[in-house]
Amino acid sequence: MQADSLPSYSKPSLAPAASVILIIDDNPKSIKALSLLVRDFGEVLFATSGAAGIAMAMKSKPDLILLDVEMPGMNGYEVCRQLKADLSTRGSGIIIVTSHSSVEHEVEALEAGAADFITKPLNAPLVRARVKTQLLVKKQADALQRLAEQDGLTGIYNRRYFDEQVAQEWRRHQRQRSPLGLALVDVDYFKAYNDEYGHQDGDECLRSVAQCLTLALRRPGEQVARYGGEEFVIILPYTDNVELLKIGPWLCEQVRNLKIPHAKSAVAQWVTISAGLASGIPSIQSGPDHLLGLADKALYQAKANGRNQFVVAEKNLE
């Protein structure tokens, strides 16, 4: 039997945004000259010191950095090393820009982590060609990374991506002593749905629920991933139990509103979800698995209580 009136589905967009180029140079004339050469490749940002450049790179996540060597305080090689050592900036391509043309300086640039090397005075066609090449390399690397992070069935993030992101969020919230929330979501009676409507409609159902949960996210930093089978997980930064009591019913309502028929559900005529939510301030003594375990126990309780509902874990990480 075929399910009727399944909502139309389009994969959540993980398409790349326009390129961002960051120029780090203490000389305004050099910044202007480089900007004029590369501005048609994307958005151009600039910083006039190494420290300011690192801060801006962490904030803007540029695709490419044009980095001057001779700067007061921190030279370009040291800036390059720091950028490549940091998880949040190591993905940016770096081209060293310098008036030195010796092999030794070029080797030092490459050993610091730079992808290419440009000498002054600037040769316009050469600068543009090398910038274009590095932006292409970055786009190709990003495309491969997106494939590695994407769930093949639903188009949302996969378990691998979730594991990496929740570890990062754990460390960030630990440093800031802020509450981190997680939600585990399970599609109710999904095996019965597959048995009734077939696996093709089952796959379409999962896609629709995945898209629905993605669109239901309302705050920056919230991310949903497929955890496995018919289970999804949501990262909820800066979220305490008070907020979870609002998020739980909101998620359940959004999926119910899809009105995907489910003739074999014991709780509703439509596809529904059960959700377990947990929150706490991360500590050094525990890891993300602890919070995930609390959310999993809450999900088990929601299912034991009859499904089509949410439960917020009473215990937290404190």
What's 135's domain CATH number?
3.40.50.2300
pLDDT at position 189: 98
pLDDT at position 316: 64
Cβ neighbours of residue 249 closer than 8 Å, sequence gap 6 or more: 310
Q: Are 78 and 87 in contact (CB under 8 A)?
A: no
Q: Stretch 250-272: mean pLDDT, rounded?
A: 97
Q: Is the domain of 62 the same as that of 165?
A: no
Q: Is the domain of 171 the same as that of 90?
A: no
Flag whether 272 is in a domain. Answer: yes
Q: Stretch 88-108: mean pLDDT, rounded?
A: 92
pLDDT averaged over every residue in the chain:
92
| Element holding 30 (H helix, E strand) | helix 28-38
Flag whether 4 is in a domain. Answer: no
- Select which of 164, 204, 230, 318 is catalytic: 230
Domain boundary (129, 149, 169) is at: 149
Domain boundary (98, 114, 149) is at: 149
Q: Is the domain of 294 the same as that of 177?
A: yes
Q: Is the domain of 164 the same as that of 263?
A: yes
Does position 101 have pLDDT exceeding 90, yes or no? no
Flag whether 15 is in a domain. Answer: no
Cis amide leading into 121 (omega within 30): yes
Q: Stretch 11-21: mean pLDDT, rounded?
A: 63
Joined tokens for residue 248: 């739980």
Q: Is the domain of 222 the same as that of 269?
A: yes
pLDDT digits (tens, 9 = 90+) for 122-161: 999 999 999 999 999 999 999 898 889 999 999 999 999 9
What's 197's domain CATH number?
3.30.70.270
**Full residue range of the structural domain in which residue 303 is found:** 159-312
Flag whether 302 is in a domain. Answer: yes
Flag whether 9 is in a domain. Answer: no
pLDDT digits (tens, 9 = 90+) for 29-77: 999 999 999 999 999 999 999 999 999 999 999 999 999 999 998 999 9
pLDDT at position 8: 36
Domain boundary (149, 175, 201) is at: 149
Q: Are 209 and 201 in contact (CB under 8 A)?
A: no
Q: Is the domain of 86 the same as that of 218?
A: no
Flag whether 293 is in a domain. Answer: yes
Q: Is the domain of 139 the same as that of 170?
A: no
Q: Is the domain of 302 the same as that of 172?
A: yes
Q: Is the domain of 125 the same as that of 245?
A: no
Q: Which of 105, 37, 58 is nearest to 47 (CA)?
A: 58
Q: Chain centroid to CA 82: how far?
A: 22
Does position 180 have pLDDT exceeding 50, yes or no? yes
Q: At what angle do helices 103-112 and 76-85 cross, to 10 degrees?
A: 30
Q: Is the domain of 134 the same as that of 116?
A: yes
- In terms of Cβ atoms closer than 10 Å to its own Cβ (0-12, 13-18, 19+), residue 29 is exposed
Flag whether 2 is in a domain. Answer: no
Does position 98 have pLDDT exceeding 60, yes or no? yes
pLDDT digits (tens, 9 = 90+) for 284-318: 888 999 999 999 999 999 999 999 999 999 876 65
Q: Stretch 199-212: mean pLDDT, rounded?
A: 97
78 included as an active-site residue: no
Q: Is the domain of 47 the same as that of 84?
A: yes
Does position 18 have pLDDT exceeding 70, yes or no? yes
> Count of domains in the chain?
2
Q: Are 42 and 135 in contact (CB under 8 A)?
A: yes
Flag whether 218 is in a domain. Answer: yes
Q: Is the domain of 103 the same as that of 243?
A: no
pLDDT at position 17: 60
